[in-house]
Structure 1
Amino acid sequence: MRHLMSARFLSTAFFSLGALVLSLVLPQGAGAQNFQTAAPTAILMDADSHAVLFEKNADELTAPASMAKTMTAEVVFNEIKNGRLSFDSTFTVSENAWRKGGGGSGGSSMFAQVNSTIRLEDLLRGLIVQSGNDAAIAIAEGIAGTEESFSRLMNERARAIGLTKSTFRNATGYGHPEQKATARDLAKLAIYIIETYPDLYKIFGEREFTWNKIRQQNRNPLLGMDIGADGLKTGNIDEAGYGLIGSAVQNGQRLILVVNGLKSAKDRANESRKLLDWGFRAFESRELFAEGQVVGEAQVFGGSKRSLPLVSRKAIRVLVPRGESERVTARIIYTGPLKAPVQKGTEVARLQVNRGDMQALEMPLYASEDIQEGTLSQRALDGLLEFGTGWVRRAFSSVIERI
């Protein structure tokens, strides 16, 4: 059963028994979401807190084009991290990879020669810096035998890291009726890569790569703008328009943006920069809970204690627009009551924080202490209480989710 529990939310919070949510008014900008972009789909996120600063049709499924190569890269990075591949692993460029992705294919290419053997390190640069379709297909075939089989790995990894709506059908980003992604999922993917593979991520920021005596510039227009950009990937096919997954760091803060559906490369560059400039300028960070501070409590069934304090492993901050005010609400969601025993450090709940109607961030919450199994009499009493009150909580549950 999903419960929404209230917690003490700084000194200005109030507790509403019926709604079971926390409410807080911070000095922040009610006009934040009034920012306008020409991009049909867009999202801007803070990488550290995962807070959403702006979104527009962020859950709409669209063709990712070559931005799908970011998912291809994640599969490879995961193989390297787990020791199944290394930079020195070699792959053969098949005739299929050469014909579908080579220089004569009409798409972006690393210009690899047919039947040549190439180190994975070079193929990764061909994939990421040059957006080579031949590199993508060679990698897919080398890892999984066929591009179709590799796409199944892409989807397995996508689900494993929390991409809930996107579906991948090839390693290149070529148009496919079932290959769709959301801006939110692509932003999550970017953050995951940056956090999980910091050394490998650096390839996304390389400005150029030369292969087969052909020097190509990185297609990411943000890299040349002197705004702290260091990745990630562009995309463009007729059905999708021009898109970009981007990342930039200023004054220790990293922002992630995704745009898609723009009419030209110039529009893509301009709208991406506009979003990043606005994000860095218009927001400030506010700490809601310090690292290790008790955020709230969860009910426990059959334990030595009936409640369990919940904490976060890092400070919980929300980015708020400067200079105005807006209602911020937060709620703790968990499946419960928790059944004893519960081990300290176990993730047992999640904290959702909303700015107005927009979910600003979602963070895991952990058990702050061990809860041992209770005595027989304690378990019997909890059983009676659960029997008598369970129907009340079930009735609340159907209302709470609509708040």
Structure 2
Amino acid sequence: MLASTAWAQSVAPGFPAPARTAHAVVPHAASCHNGASFDRFLAGLKQQALADGVSQRAIGEAAPYLVYDQGIVNRDRGQRVFGQVFTEFSGRMAAPYRMQQGQAHIRTYAAAFARAEKEYGVPPAVIAAFWGLESDFGANMGNLPTLRSLVSLAYDCRRSERFIGETIAALKIIDRGDLTPEEMIGSWAGELGQTQFLPTHYFTYAVDYGGHRNLLSNPEDVIGSTANYIASGLKWRRGEPWLQEVRVTAPNDFPWDQADLTIRLPRSKWARLGVKYSDGRPLPDDEMPASLLLPMGRNGPAFLAYANFAAYTEWNNSLIYSTTAGYLATRIAGAPPMQRPTAHVAQLPFSELRELQQLLVRAGYDVGKIDGVMGQQSRSAVKAMQIKYGLPADSWPTAELLARMRGPRAQPATAAAAQSVR
């Protein structure tokens, strides 16, 4: 999944829509294709599809839709990051109405949910949460020709190989008889269906729960296919939890550097450190491993993230999105609303997050792309610098840390320290 339609509409209102001209704009020859024109590139893509088993009939049916749209490429290049803290984002995306709709859909399609859970081991609430976040249960799937989006992104040089594969997968979907080219309407990024599958996922994981595989209009197929993808593609562990809200009862003495998705401790160990369920109940005294997840640092909400939480970060690597999806699933399953921070948790502006990343790189740490997004690499580097400066090492970027790194005390990290957070 590149970006859910419902999510994109929620956090990016008014984002300019891609061009929808009747005649596609002919692009300049792309350097990554040895200067080949789009028509020449497309001829090669069709030959590659034939070699990969797609029939000439399917390619012929799709041909009128395999046209270039510069507006799609512009939109892909112009994606923006919206700076929302977790409580703000989850408050919008995991709102009570979406929880209630999820519960209602579980009742309406009880047989399909029961079948999916029996076959794949994925709880109904987990499926329903993704369904609601990705498209508001089919209400917002996008309205753009999928083949046009895919082939335009395939010709663009940024992720060409990936979208060549997605275009061929879309042709295989047509060849299999799941959808016709004109039925392939979806998001600008080429995703299809009510849980926004890329064509490779659609072709691999779509199952038939009612006639033929149709993830655009058949809710039963949506339920079964989403369960199949979560179980088979994302390695869901049957019968295990995914996320539970907790609280730290002794924050002044807590080893905040242990709060990291890369660190797993038995629940018995977390209990001894003073972690309890949010309602004050003790954690089980067992060896089930879990990570302490602090999406807003030590002053924000806290969760135990289990092995199944990896399915969420694989679905979408945005920590805010994945935590929201896991939290919404717990709400649909009957968990109470999470506790809100007792005080305001400040988030650095986007420009300062990028500056912090630049300073971390200058200090010798690998943060991945300098984009203002606090992914796992950036959070690990932040934690290392917090340890260096004697600050609570909760991986949350603060104005105090930025000020320290701007000052004369900021020294390059040792090679060993830099390596430790990569």
TM bucket normalised to smaller: under 0.3
Q: Which has the higher contact order (CA 8 A, sep 6+)?
A: 1
Q: Which has the higher helix share?
A: 2
Alignment TM-score, normalising by the size of structure 1: 0.28
Alignment TM-score, normalising by the size of structure 2: 0.27
